[in-house]
Structure 1
Amino acid sequence: MLFLLIGNSIFSQNNSKGFALLELYTSEGCSSCPPADELLGKIQNEYKDKNVYVLAYHVDYWDKQGWKDIFSNADFTKRQYDYAQFLGKEPIYTPQVIINGKTDYIGSQETSLRNGIKLALSKPAAVDLSLETKQQNDKLSLNYSINGTFKNSHLLIAVVQKSAKSNVKRGENAHRVLSHYQIVQRLQTIDLKVAKGNSTITLPKNFNTQDFEIIGFVQDIKSGAILGVKRA
């Protein structure tokens, strides 16, 4: 059920159901990435009313190949390396999709990705996460509440741009206009010590409630497993 209040958005749902958080690692400099970007955009649209969430992280290790991805971030490359440690799978690559922090897939392989989503949805969430947000100029005030066991966990808050297009001039995708979906612009980590708390997030300059959304998720820092997720 969705409740909208002036200045606030509260999303509440029975999170005993399963969920699928798809984390895509991609780059404008990678010729095999556009099909994955398109597929994740298709999945996002298809499952928008379900417990399926898409986050696209643009990594920076392709930036030296002739084209700098305007959405790339070294922190996202580090996050992908962390997953390589969790999953015991190196070297890292694009396009890679990791579902619920547990299993990785080649991002353009639709059948295996859809099977992964079905498997994730069949397993109940470990925690129930509630988020309440309020925008104040370029800041986002966030209140969170967690029901369930969250020892050794972080709460991560992703500020997500829903879509964008880029005219790529050089590199492997030279002279192409690329479509991007669910682009992570900010990723803030909150160290969880109590079940309820608050935080402040700095928003991108072009942030607006129509073109962006906030997705929060709880992650076990020892295994990388995602325990619960919520859209605010």
Structure 2
Amino acid sequence: MILKNLISVGAFTALMFAASAFAQKEEIKKIKPVSPSENKGFAVLELFTSEGCSSCPPADELMEQIEKEYGNQQVFILSYHVDYWNRLGWKDRFSSAENSQRQQWYSRLLQSQTYTPQLVVNGKKELVGSDRNSIENALQHVLADPKNTPVNLSAKESQKTITASYKTTETDSQSKLLISLIEKKSSTQVGGGENEGHRLQHWQIVHQQEQISLKDHSEGTVYFKLPDNFSSENWEIIGFIQNLKTGKISGASKSLIQ
């Protein structure tokens, strides 16, 4: 019943936001962040998107630009492909029910609608994922806040798994460390739905995510299944600490995979 409600709400509100999000499809101007010396904070950008949504490609493109323009700052992008668009003509191969459920959790927490493309910044603010000006303003705000709980990450590839090691000083019982396996870039030739006939480019795709309680374990390891056709230069690990009661993200980092 919950998933059915998510699908219906997501599809309905996605249509409501289509006109607004499509307005952002005009050429994306270059973002001009302030210098790294002025920015001491961090930003976790969680984009909820779908290959079945015609309003989503501009948001995906904007994530690519932010990744390039803020590459030397503490900006962490995670793209979650939701599955409630899959019944409308095209099944997104990156989508999952877990991604949709995470978006629905944010919808309840932030008292927002569920739609695509939707962006959540540091677990506290939601925006249309293709609204460049609003996202840039949000970035400047959070990057100016120097608070960032340290998270140390490292990752190694073996024959069948990726082992990610973590260490943090956070011990809040209401917080968890979320560690995600991220594919940096991929593309799909879409054969149905609203984007039929288009080759879509995607960035920072969440493939697997583990949640770790920090109450008793501020140091340890998690394991991810090695993806098919894995190439270490196109994958990374992102970890962030989140209070599951408030949604606030208090620290984040990432690691290459050795």
TM-score (normalizing by structure 2): 0.80
Q: Tell me the percent identity.
A: 42
Whether 2:69 is the aligned partner of 1:46: answer yes
Counterpart-to-counterpart distance in 2, 1:54 and 1:108: 14
Residue of structure 2 aligned with 1:137, choices 159, 175, 194: 159
Q: Which residue of 1 aligns with 2:139?
A: 117
The answer to whether the 8 Å contact 2:42/2:148 transfers is no
Alignment of 1:98-113 (within 5 A): 98-113=120-135
Give the corresponding residue for 2:211: 189
Code of the residue aligned with 2:173 in structure 1: it is K
The equivalent of 1:11 in structure 2 is none
- Give, in whole Å, the separation in 2 of the partners of 1:194 and 1:185: 24
TM-score computed with the length of structure 1 as normaliser: 0.89
Is the Cα–Cα contact under 8 Å of residues 138 and 205 in structure 1 kept in the other structure?
Answer: no
Residue 25 (structure 1) shift: 0.2
| 2:12 alignment partner in structure 1 | none
Give, in angstroms, the shift of residue 125 of structure 1.
Answer: 2.9
2:118/2:127 contact within 8 Å kept: yes
- What stretches of structure 1 move > 4 A for 4+ residues in a row? none
* 1:85 equivalenced with 2:108 (yes/no): yes
Would you say 1:65 and 2:114 are equivalent positions?
no
Residue 181 of structure 1 aligns to a residue in which SS?
strand
Q: Distance in 2 between matches of 1:196 and 1:66?
A: 44
Answer with 181-190 or 76-85: which moved more.
181-190
Q: What amino acid is the match of 2:116?
A: T
Structure-1 residue corresponding to 2:13: none
| Aligned residues of 1:165 and 1:179 also touching (Cα < 8 A) | yes
Preserved contact between residue 163 and residue 182 of structure 1 (Cα < 8 Å)? yes
Provide the rounded CA distance (Å) in 2 between the counterparts of 1:151 and 1:125.
Answer: 19
- 8 Å contact 2:152–2:166 — kept in the other structure? yes
Q: Distance in 2 between matches of 1:126 and 1:220?
A: 14
8 Å Cα contact 1:152/1:221 also seen in 2 = yes
- Measured after TM superposition, the shift of residue 56 of structure 1 is 0.4
Tell me the amino acid that sits aligned with residue 100 of structure 1: N
Q: Which residue of 40, 48, 56 maps to 1:33?
A: 56
Aligned partner of 1:223 among 239, 243, 246? 246
Which of 197, 202, 223 is matched with 1:200 structurally?
A: 223
Gaps spanning 5+ residues in structure 2: where?
1-38
- Whole-angstrom distance in 2 between the partners of 1:129 and 1:185: 21
More helix as a share of residues: 2
Q: Which amino acid aligns with 2:252?
A: V
1:151 match: secondary structure = coil
Alignment RMSD (CA, Å): 1.5
The 2-side partners of 1:83 and 1:47 are apart by 25
> Where do 5+ consecutive residues of structure 1 fail to align?
1-15
| 2:184 is the counterpart of 1:162 | yes
Q: State the SS of the aligned residue for 2:145.
A: coil
CA contact (8 A) 1:127 1:150 kept: no
- 1-structure distance, mates of 2:167, 2:40: 18
- Bigger proportion of residues as strand: 1
Does the 8 Å CA contact 1:126/1:148 hold for their aligned counterparts? no
Pairwise CA distance, 1:180 = 0.7
Shift of the alpha carbon at 1:148?
4.0
